[in-house]
Structure 1
Amino acid sequence: MTVDLPSLDLLRSLSDRHVLAAVASAGQLTRAAAATATGLSKPTVSQSVARLLEAGVVVEGERASGGRGRAGTYLTVNDAAGCALAVQAGPEGVVGEVVALDGRVLATHRRTLSSPVTPGSLGRALTAVCRALTSDSPGPVRVVTVSVADPVDRRTGRVVELPASPFLVGELDPVRLLAKVVPVPPVVDNDVSWALLAEHTEGVAVGVDDVLQLHLDEGMGAAMWAGGRPLHGARGLAGEVAYSRTSVPTRGTRGTRGTRGTRGTRSTQATSAAPSGTLMECVASLGYLREGSKAIEVESLLEDLDRGAGQARRLAAAVAEVARAHAYLLDPELVVLSGRWGRHTEVVEAVTTALADAGGVATTVERAGITDDAPLTGARIHALGELLATWSAQPGTVST
């Protein structure tokens, strides 16, 4: 049997990428330290460094001090060779970063938005931020990642309009909007999907291949990994838990907040469990939507959860029903709860109890470990991986 051996060009490309990744991860490395970090021989590392220096991807800096033997010089990534942009667009506005290959944030720009957020206002803010970031980049922009707070059709990068969207009314096309602003097509994804990538890389889901994340804040969403890979669905609608079926209490006034009743309840009480409705209908029925909006009144809900009010506990139970249904569908090893009210003890305990009582389901429930700008963190992680790949796209070459 004939065995095809890897070509010399391919081996060189792989060694170059390993060395570059080691330098980027450490911030600065000598050739000897790079050999130790990669497990490659010193001659192989020296040859890779020579090619990377010639391509301008790394530069030599100051000489290392201390230790025995001849001191080597530190290698660092060359920001002028190229950077990535990571951008988060949500209900509060747009924030973006210029990111170097070693993870340093070289520049940050943001634009705030007022409600309601429209495709026009979000598009203008997104364009302005990306234009400013591109101008501040010390080298060519090689990768752009964008997080948006709505479902995204991964085939086109367009934001998908849904009737219960709490933020965006109408469709947005970031790829088209940024075509003349950035030199490469952006990778666009939903904010919860990026947040789960952050959890899978740096948070509570590290090393877990099958994960369900439920994000409960002003909006509601989910993201899933199965077999170590993210699930998006044909049009990016996987994880739209606002449309999942659950028990919906009936009340005298739907969709508006009642006045405070005694003992932490509301004066318009839930009366009976209707047949099923969507989770969004449950939120509306319990009076936790902002007036004239599909966004959730998080502060009021948190107050009621803190007091253990009946309305809030009914909503926690409805979320637990949704989590249990998804657990049977996806069989996750881990369920991550994120968002301001998603991390509340009442919700965590309701979901944990529902999954423990579900026959055959064996999963762990954890609060999200990354709570500050998690979607931006995930977008940055993906951008860094893609940025590294741009310098080893062709076997035996470093593309510049």
Structure 2
Amino acid sequence: MNEVARALPQTVLREATDRRLLDETIRQGRTTRAELADVTGYSRPTVSEAVRRLVEVGLLDATGLKETGRRGRVGTFYELGARSGWVLALELDQSGVHARAADLAGRTRAELRRPPTPPGDAPALVESVRAAVRTIDGGAGPLRTVGVSIANPVDPATHQTVPLAGTPFPEGLLSPMEMIGDLVPAPVLVDNDVNLAALAEHRAGRAAGEASFAYVYVGAGLGVGLYIGDQLIRGAHGLAGEIGYLPGSSAPTLAADLAAGGLGRSDAPSNDVAAALALLDRADETALRVLAEAVARVINSVAAVVDPALVLLGGPVGTHPALLPRVRTAISFPGPIRVEHGALGTDAALRGALELAIEHARATAVAV
């Protein structure tokens, strides 16, 4: 027992060192052991031993020599290994299935889209997802992690989708692991699409560096992703940010307000994204007023409760340029509030799923 207890910190330290050097090599693209020692502060022997381990398991490759300028001294360049593996990101929502394969640096290796399946047809969605997974190929090395963005709340404890009455994506109330678990030899990580869009904006978008912000999604459904104190807030049951269920001004819910305003689909319990975009393109005053007032009520509520430094509008409807100025005008919260468009557009949720998968893949790759 004492030997195990003494060995554990060394194992943790080794994994942390390997992860730091892997991340730094990926960040630089190509580097030497001396450069890694300089930037991380690790000793040269520590870096050399860690790089040896990373090369041994295929995470790094030696890719050439670098003249040091000192007689007899030649450094070796290292970069992400050609067979270090890949990750898969899936986005499942009312617009269809979007898949992206990338290496551990996040560089896209393959991408495909499949069209939407009939509303409420769960078997058709399952077959579409399975077809996408069978088709896409991320190249050399093992598939390390699959990240899935789904347009339904996800319980943070069980990682299962949470069924809510009136969900705009009823066909998506299945477990992604059950959909594809037999097809992928890798962990499957699942989260709500709005949460993942907020994560992506926090990592690589307009909210980078913001400790507290809100991401308001307007598309087939409505949702808010919340970061408070640099933490993504999911709630006890994964239901934080389900703003479509807030009370409406003239209907039982906010989502019903939009439907009553002519923005709902006749064949599904969701917003009609194509119709909404066409109305916004034409600067239709009724559509602009209905949408702006609904989004402004959301922002007023969020601002009153959590006082974010920044609010981002996202989703296919939320990113329309005609909406933002009208939302700013409709906000009635008396305190300071900054409202902008997200930087990642409609790619945000898939980018978030990719970030989730890469983070897990790098962590587990060095834990050998």
Larger Rg: 1
1:293 partnered with 2:268: yes
| Residue in 1 that maps onto 2:122 | 119
Map 1:321-340 to 2 at 5 A.
Answer: 321-340=297-316
How many Å separate the matches in 2 of 1:222 and 1:213? 5
- Runs of 5+ consecutive residues of structure 1 not aligned to the other structure: 249-275, 394-398
1:152 partnered with 2:151: no
Q: How much has 1:354 moved relative to structure 2?
A: 5.0
Map 1:28-39 to 2 at 5 A.
Answer: 28-39=30-41
Q: How much has 1:175 moved relative to structure 2?
A: 1.5
Paired residue type of 1:324: N
2:95 paired residue among 78, 92, 95: 92
Q: How much has 1:113 moved relative to structure 2?
A: 2.8
Aligned residues: 361
Go from structure 1 to structure 2 and tell me whether the alpha carbon gap of 1:372 and 1:72 turns closer, same or farther (over 3 Å shift): farther
Give secondary structure in 2 for the equivalent of 1:218.
coil
How many Å separate the matches in 2 of 1:186 and 1:376? 14
| Residue in 2 that maps onto 1:171 | 173
Name the TM-score, length of structure 1 as normaliser: 0.81
Q: How much has 1:150 moved relative to structure 2?
A: 1.9
| Residue in 2 that maps onto 1:18 | 20
Give secondary structure in 2 for the equivalent of 1:193.
helix
Q: How much has 1:7 moved relative to structure 2?
A: 4.3
Q: Summarize deviations over 1:188-215 as a string: whole Å, max 9, x none.
A: 1111111111100111111112111111
Q: Summarize deviations over 1:159-180 as a string: whole Å, max 9, x none.
A: 2333333333462111222221
How many Å separate the matches in 2 of 1:354 and 1:225? 23
Contact 1:84 1:384 in 2 (8 A): yes
Give secondary structure in 1 for the equivalent of 2:252.
strand
| Residue in 2 that maps onto 1:131 | 134
Q: How much has 1:181 moved relative to structure 2?
A: 1.4
Contact 2:150 2:172 in 1 (8 A): no
Contact 1:245 1:322 in 2 (8 A): no
Q: Summarize deviations over 1:207-228 as a string: whole Å, max 9, x none.
A: 1121111111232222111121
| Residue in 2 that maps onto 1:75 | 78
Q: How much has 1:105 moved relative to structure 2?
A: 2.2
How many Å separate the matches in 2 of 1:38 and 1:288? 53
Q: How much has 1:67 moved relative to structure 2?
A: 5.3
Paired residue type of 2:196: W
Name the TM-score, length of structure 2 as normaliser: 0.88
| Residue in 2 that maps onto 1:371 | 345
CA RMSD of superposed structures (Å)? 2.6
Give secondary structure in 1 for the equivalent of 2:353.
helix
Contact 2:222 2:243 in 1 (8 A): yes
1:358 partnered with 2:333: yes
Q: How much has 1:366 moved relative to structure 2?
A: 1.2
Go from structure 1 to structure 2 and tell me whether the alpha carbon gap of 1:309 and 1:387 turns closer, same or farther (over 3 Å shift): same
How many Å separate the matches in 1 of 2:116 and 2:287? 31
Map 1:1-400 to 2 at 5 A.
Answer: 7-64=9-66, 70-116=73-119, 118-133=121-136, 136-169=138-171, 171-248=173-250, 277-305=252-280, 306-307=282-283, 309-344=285-320, 347-353=323-329, 355=331, 357-359=332-334, 361-393=335-367, 399=368
Contact 2:283 2:322 in 1 (8 A): no
Q: Which moved more, 1:345-354 or 1:227-236?
A: 345-354
Give secondary structure in 2 for the equivalent of 1:247.
coil
Go from structure 1 to structure 2 and tell me whether the alpha carbon gap of 1:17 and 1:351 turns closer, same or farther (over 3 Å shift): same
Contact 1:320 1:347 in 2 (8 A): no
| Residue in 1 that maps onto 2:3 | none
Give secondary structure in 2 for the equivalent of 1:207.
coil
| Residue in 2 that maps onto 1:265 | none
Q: How much has 1:123 moved relative to structure 2?
A: 1.3
How many Å separate the matches in 1 of 2:298 and 2:189? 30
Q: How much has 1:19 moved relative to structure 2?
A: 1.1
